[in-house]
Amino acid sequence: MRLFWKVFAVLWLATLLVGVSGFLVSRTLQQDWLLLQFHPHLRDFAEQLVETYEYQGPLAAQRWLETQRRQHRLRAQLYNDEGYSLLPGTLPRIGGLPEESRQSTERRHGRLLQLAWASPGAEYQLTLHVPAPELFRWQRTPFALVANVTLAMLMLALLSLLLSRYLTAPLGKLGLAAQALAKGQFDAETLSSIGRRQDEIGDLSRRFQSMAEQVNSLLNSQQQLLRDISHELRSPLARLRLGMALGSKRDLEQGDPLWNRLDRECTRLDRLIEGILALSRLDTQDAPPEHFDLGALIADVVEDARFTAEAGQQILVSGCEKLVISGWPDQLAGALDNLLRNALRFSPVEGEISVSVQAENSIIRIRIDDEGPGVPPEWLERLGEPFARLPGQPADSGHGLGIAIARRAIARHGGTLAFSLNAAKGLRAEIALPALNPQARV
C-alpha cells in the first residue's frame, strides 16, 4: 500500500475512533442531554410551555399539555422557582409509593426528566415524563444523529485527505528528483518549493539538494579530470611514438640523444601515471585513523627535503611542537613533502624556505613560505586543480597533481589548504588541521 493511503487511513481511522469513543462516552454520561437534543418533540418543549403560560395564561398552558399528552404521550408539570405547582399538569399520580417502587415504575414506563427554564421575567422548574414507546422510537430513528455522524466522517475524511497529500506530495517530488539525478538530469529548481518548508521534509529536501549538487560537482570534476588526463597522456605518447618511428628507420648508437629523449618521456609518463594513481588512492583507502606526533612527522619530512635541496637552499623550522593529531601519517607526510618540493622547485638557488607550526585552541596551523616568484593573485584559488598550468609555466614543470594530492589528503584529515602571497612576494601555503588535544604532549 502506498504511503499516502497508509497515512490517510491511519489519520482517518484514528480521528474517527476518537470521535466515536467520545460520542459513546457522552451518551453514557449525558443520556438526558442527547434525548432532549435529538428528540423532535422534546427539543423545544420547555420553551413552548413557558411561553404559552406567560402570554396566554394557565388555561392555555394546561390545554397545550393535554394536547401533548394525547398526540405524543408526553406528560409534564410546571413549577415556579420555589417548587409550587403552577398547573394541574398531566403527570400520572404515583405519590405514596416507596422510592424503590417509583424507580422501578420509571424504568418500566419510560423516563422522568427534571428540567429548568428561565424566561426574561421568571425561572421555572419542569418535570417531564417520556413513555417507553417514545424512547424506543427515538432510538430506532435517530436521523439527526446519523446525519451529524455522517457529516463528521466526511469532514474528517476531507481533512485527512488534505493532510495526507501535504505529507506525501513532497516525497513524490523527491522520488522524481532522485530518478532525475540517476539520469544526470537533476534540476535544483524542482525542489525549491519543498526546501522552503520548516519541517523534517524541508530538512530532507535541503539535504538531498546539497547532496545532489555535490554529486553533480564530483561527476563534473571526474569528467574534467578524465579529459585532462587524456590530454596530458596524449603528448608524451605522441613523442614516444615519433621517437620509436625515427629509431626504427636508422641504426641508433647507444649514446644517441634520441634514446635520452625517449627515456625522459617514459619517466614523465611514469610520474604522471603515479600521480594519477596516488590521487585516486586517497578516495579508496579505508584504513582506520591513528594517533601520531605531528612534530616528529614534520621533522622527518623536512629532513628528507633538505637531502634533495640545492646546495644553497635552506629550510628553517620553528614552533615544531609535539602535538597529537588523529589521521593517516603516510598521507599527511606525502602532502607536506609535495608542498616542500614545490617550494624548493620555485625558490632561487640561495633561497630560504620557512616552515612554522602554531597551535591555536583546537586548530594547528602549518605555514610554508618560499622566496620564489609567487603566482598571480587570480590564480591562488586555482592552485591544486589537477593539470592547471600557470601562464608562462614550462611544459616540464609538472602536471599540478602534487598540490591536488596534498589538498585531498589534508581535506581527508578534516583540514584545509590555502595559498597566499607572503611579505617576500613568494608563495605561502597554510595548512589548518584539527588537533586531537592541543595541550597533549607525547
Cell of 371: 622566496
d(CA 373, CA 376): 9
The label of the residue with cell 585552541 reads 361
CA-closest candidate to residue 144, choices 49, 34, 251: 34
Catalytic option among 41, 109, 129, 231? 231
CA angle 293, 298, 302 (to 5 degrees): 155
132 CB neighbour count, 10 Å cutoff: 13
Are the CB atoms for 195 and 209 separated by under 8 Å? Answer: yes
Alpha helix locations (H) across 183-256?
192-195, 200-249
d(CA 38, CA 33): 9
Q: In the annotation, is 231 catalytic?
A: yes
Cell of 143: 436521523
Q: Which residues are catalytic?
A: 231
